[in-house]
Amino acid sequence: MSRNPRSGNSQSLTLVIKLGTSSICDIETNLPLLSNLSLLVETIVKLRSLGHRVVLVTSGAIGIGLRRLNMDKKPKKLNEIQAVAAIGQGRLMRMYDDLFSQLNQPIAQVLLTRHDLADRTQYLNAVNTFSALLNMGVVPVVNENDTISVSEIKFGDNDTLSAITAGMVNADYLFLMTDVDCLYTDNPTTNPNAKPVKVVEDVSALRDKVIVSSPGSSLGTGGMVTKLIAAELATAAGVTTIICRGSAPKNIISIINHPFSNNNQNSESLPLHTRFLAKDNPMLDRKWWILHGLHSVGTIFIDEGAVKAVTKVGQKSSLFAAGIVKVEGYFVANQAVDLKIERTIKHEDTNEVETVMIGKGLVNYSSIEISRIKGFQSSDIENLLGYADSECVIHRDNLVITIKTDD
């Protein structure tokens, strides 16, 4: 098992580099850390000269905006935070453009929201724009469009945004640059016995072995928890994910020049970092889009028979009305919903209901229609509704299973 980047060699790689707020702005003064940024820009230009394609996902708009307004703390009201981000975003891009221009490297601003990616056509347009920019030799600089994003449809943090961007550009590597060298089993500043985690094959299994409860900086929205989520998203798309120190971006070159192998698991000669190995069977583009590009607007609860049908190895079925127990939320056809099951856990004195996430999919019927046809056979749909747009509620091509199966 090599788990090397999808391109199979280091001659020409696609890299997504995410720089966090703590690597861009001083958390006390909000002043830009020009030394860090200059080193990053030099590294990206060097990577470009080596034939690699690079996308930069940046935070820092709020920190730069606070400095421009001489404000000490981030506001609490959403509209005020968005206003500060709007002020900071322009100055942040100007700063990047000034630095990259010194080395004659063109850049492009790309502002995204989850809403932009909810429509399949818009998602593909974004993918095509990234492809065109990279083919032109441009470095796309990506940030969330905080000015218009609302909490319900935000990516939540730029770690998640960087993982989704990595999936969109079919990246070989995602680098999550932070203020520590790597992931540790606990916070190394408070626990001297904390040990570095160098290679991760299964993020889900890792969560039981490490403590990552610490939040991000006062200016940022992330922390190590969000980096684990981002690593899980990216590796599912076939992207090798690295956590390393943001103040030493030149380490990126050393890391990509030494792909992972079973005989050389993070060689001692390499800079300290954590490597999350890409999945051997990455998720198809359309299912990746359904799972990570779309906001779930409701929930369909199914029975055990339906769970077995949609998860059965080798012949995963579509979801039919007969296996649906109940519906929550209001939605229309072609929107994304979560698929769940409620299981009763019996104890000596009481029974406990456990809700388990099964997957996510695009529905062929509205919530009102599904409420009327749930529990019935497909042959009954026309009699119940007066029409039958589809024999299934979610087609298997539009269904992503998230619960672990044996395949």
Q: Which of 88-102, 115-129, 218-232 has the highest mean pLDDT?
A: 88-102
What average pLDDT does the segment 178-185 reach?
85
Q: Judge whether residue 49 has pLDDT over 70.
A: yes
Residue 106: how many other CB atoms lie within 10 Å: 12
Which pLDDT tens digit goes with each residue over 241-295?
A: 999 998 899 999 999 998 766 555 555 678 899 999 998 888 878 888 888 878 8
3-state secondary structure of 369: helix
Q: Is 50 exceeded by the pLDDT of residue 152?
A: no
| Per-residue pLDDT band at 170 (split at 50, 70, 90) | very high
Please give the C-alpha separations between residue 17 and each of 80, 193, 217, in angstroms, as whole numbers.
Answer: 28, 30, 19
Order of strands across the sheet that contains 173-178: 107-112, 139-144, 53-58, 14-19, 173-178, 240-245, 274-276, 199-200
> In the structure encoding, which two tokens stand for residue 113, read together?
């929201």
14 vs 167: CA distance, rounded Å: 11
* CA nearest neighbour of 393 among 293, 282, 306: 306
The average pLDDT across 23-30 equals: 80
pLDDT of 407 higher than 80:
no
Q: Is 70 helix (H, G, I), strand (E, B) or coil?
A: coil
Going by pLDDT thresholds of 50, 70 and 90, the confidence category of residue 6 is: low
Q: Residue holding tokens 């909810």?
A: 118
Quote the CA–CA distance of 381 and 379 in Å, as a whole number: 6
Residue that wins the pLDDT comparison between 220 and 206: 206
Please give the structure tokens belonging to residue 176.
């999550």
What is the pLDDT at residue 100?
Answer: 97
The residue-averaged pLDDT of 25-50 equals 90
Average confidence (pLDDT) over 32-58: 94
Q: Residue 7: which pLDDT band, with cuts at 50, 70 and 90?
A: low
pLDDT category of residue 2 using cuts at 50, 70 and 90: very low
Distance CA 232, CA 226 (A): 10
Q: What does each C-alpha distance from 329 to 135, 280, 335, 375 come to in angstroms? A: 43, 36, 12, 18
Q: Which residue has the tokens 């070989």?
A: 172
pLDDT single digits (tens) 290-312 = 888 788 899 999 999 999 999 98
What percent of the chain has a predicted confidence (pLDDT) above 90? 46
**34-49 and 78-101 helices cross at what angle (nearest 10)?**
60
Out of 40-54, 75-89, 92-106, 253-267, pick the least confident. Answer: 253-267
Average pLDDT, the chain: 85
How would DSSP label each residue in 248-295? -TTHHHHHHTS--BTTBTT-TTSPP-EEEPPPSSPPPHHHHIIIIIS-
Where is pLDDT greater, at 356 or 347?
A: 356
| Token reading at 388 | 């039958």
Residue corresponding to tokens 């039958």:
388
Residue-wise pLDDT for 366-375, tens only, equals: 999 999 999 9
Cα separation of the two ends of the chain: 17
Kindly tell me if the per-residue pLDDT of 219 is higher than 60: no
Lowest mean pLDDT among 8-17, 149-158, 197-206, 390-399: 149-158
| pLDDT at position 222 over 50 | no
- How many Cα atoms occupy the beta-carbon half-sphere of 172 within 13 Å? 21
Q: Could you tell me which residue, 403 or 340, shows the higher pLDDT?
A: 340
Regarding predicted confidence, which is higher, 59 or 104? 104
pLDDT at position 1, please?
A: 44
Distances (CA, A) of 225 to 117, 203, 305: 24, 11, 34
Q: Inform me whether the pLDDT recorded for 240 exceeds 50.
A: yes
What is the share, in percent, of the chain residues with pLDDT greater than 70? 88
CA distances from 110 to 116, 145, 255, 306, 307 (A): 12, 9, 27, 41, 40
Runs of H (alpha helix) within 169-223: 203-206
Confidence of residue 153 (pLDDT cuts 50, 70, 90): very low
Distance of CA 213 to the CA centre of its chain: 19
